[in-house]
Structure formats: C-alpha cells, structure tokens
Structure 1
C-alpha cells in the first residue's frame, strides 16, 4: 500500500468520524442494538491484519406509531471503533466506510415504479408496529494497519488490541440512497411517498446508527486452510 493510499484512508477516517457523530432522525423512531457473533482473523502479514466480524442486530420501533421500512439488506455505511476513558468520554480507535447500495439507473427507475403506489407495497416494504422489533444478521471485513501513520486518525492494530473496553458503532442505510436522491424525478419522490403513506405509518428515509456494541478481540480465531 503506497503513501497516497495511506493518506486517503486518513482522510476517509476523519470524514467518517464526523458522519457517525451526526444525529440521525431515525434514532427518534428506531433503536438498533446487537452483539458480535463472529470474529475471525482472515489474513495477517507484516503490515496488516484483516478481520472478519459477524453481527446479530435487532431494530426496535421505540415510537408510538407504525414505521414503514424498505426491505433492504441494510448496507453498512460506516463502522467506528472507540473506547472510553475514566470519565466515560469516547476515544476514537478506528473507523472505516462501507458502501451504500448502488443500482444502475434503469433498475432504480423500475423500483420507483414498484414503490409508486397509494399504499406501501408488501413486496418492497414491511411495517414495524409500535414497540415491535425485527432481527437480522450482517458481516463485514476490516483491514487494520500494524503501524500507525501520522496522517491517520486510526490507531495501530497493537494499540487497538490493548484498549479496553472496545465498542463498535455501526451506521446502516435503511432507505436506498439511489432512490432517495440522485434518481429522483418529477414523477417520483421518496419524500412525496412519505407524505402519501403517512396514514399507514412513518416511512423511514434516514440512515440508522447503532447503540454501542461490545467487541472482545480475545474471542478472535485465526482462519486456517481447512476453513477456506
């Protein structure tokens, strides 16, 4: 990995710290909690450690009204690792960005037509009643540098592995960005759908940020050739 890539990682880390810390309107309607169910060291060399993490997550409607949720895979937008000092203040350890859902224009237009109904279509949405919850699983891989570079906000793998406690905050995409922004047209608006469907429930368009999820790196297992 060259110096240009290191600087790019550093810049992305800074932007993600700002992004994750911003308040989401989804937090007023939903609570996202979970636990780490899998930690695997997939690959390790002299410079990096690649870690695979699996999560069991639960989204709960904490409001008093129905929430309409688009049936998606909850794309991981960012993952932020932090620890706490003696006063409970959060201290940054590591952050990395995921990838928002991204469809070609023709597919987006097709989905717009499927969603453009008087009532939320069952095939593409589901209703989470007041105080109801739904569970799902996600997994992701992160690459940690063994040596910290000065331009990066991320700490080295050795520094991170010595921190305690280690907590994770995830940011997930609920409503696809390709339907919400760049492919909106005069004939389709996600915000118009939100207004149209309000007699059924609240259409959630905002991304959702999880509550802190504990991570114990002592539980990590090393992937062997037999696991390939």
Structure 2
C-alpha cells in the first residue's frame, strides 16, 4: 500500500486524482473524514456533544469553518476532535482497503500521515510539496483567509519532516502539465515495483 501526503495547499488532491486516472485504487482520508460527520452520524453527534451546537449550520450539517477556527487555534481542542473522528475514520479506511482488488495499487491519501506517525505502515510514501507562499496563494483563491491558512500549516508537519519519510517526492510548484508528467513517472515506478514484487510479498499495492 502506498501512502500519499502533503501539506495543505500542496496539491495532494490533484495528485490523487491523476493517480486514479492511471488506475490507482484510492482510499481518501479527507473524504472519509467528511463522511463520518455527515448529518445523522455517530461522529457528528459526538462533535456537537464535545464542542456545542454552534458547530452546526442552519441545515443541520457540520459548520466546518466554525469548527476549524476552534480546533486550529487550540491544540487541546484539535486533539479532542481527533479522539472522536480518528477511530471512525480508521475503521472506515480499513473496510475500504480490504475491498480493494488483489492486484490494485492502493493509494492511501492521508493529510496527517507524518503527524500521526503512521508512515512506517506503508510500502512506499509519496510526498507532494510546493513552496509555502504558493500554497498560501492557492488557499487564498479557495477563500481561506491567510491567518487561518497559516494556523493550519502550523498545526501540520514541516516540509523537512515530510521529506524525511518520503520515498518519492512530487514537486507541485509548476503547471498542471508539469504535475501530470511527474505523476506519470511516479505511476510507472509504482507499476514497476508492483510487478517486481514476488507473489505473497509486500509491495506497493
């Protein structure tokens, strides 16, 4: 199994989409994180119990902006949220991984792979990176205020920490065409490693 990570604004989601286009089986932790706090879920009920009804929007769904302002400004609150959501996310991810075809190259997209100390559980770790200012510009275009973007970056691992666990680095400081070319190279390397792995042995799948 291949771990994919990168800091907020690095373009990790774009990389995962490109890998899916090549045939990867994606298990997206961000997407699952949203699923486990959907309206009516056990996760949402636990978040509201912990942080109050102000975390709900008018439609009864989680107000992510309100929750983000709380948890990214206070480490204790962030850890409290993680204690609620992480077990639910982990259980769902394990079910998705178990459902993958036997010959699939499974990409586990995990924003906090380094922070959670789980990098040792993967056959390979891919790290997407881009310069800090470029990441901030991308986040501003998404409507995230700079102070909130910087708070989220500060709550994540540093570039140096992510590079320290990377088997393959993916530079996303250029154009989408540049990124596509790099991801094609990475995909060919993943195929090569999978096909070179003896049956029954660990490999990037």
Instruction: Tell whether the structures are fold-level matches, with TM greater than 0.5.
Output: no
Higher helix share: 2
- Determine which structure has more spread, i.e. the larger CA radius of gyration: 1
What TM-score, normalized to structure 1? 0.27
Tell me the TM-score normalised to structure 2 length: 0.29
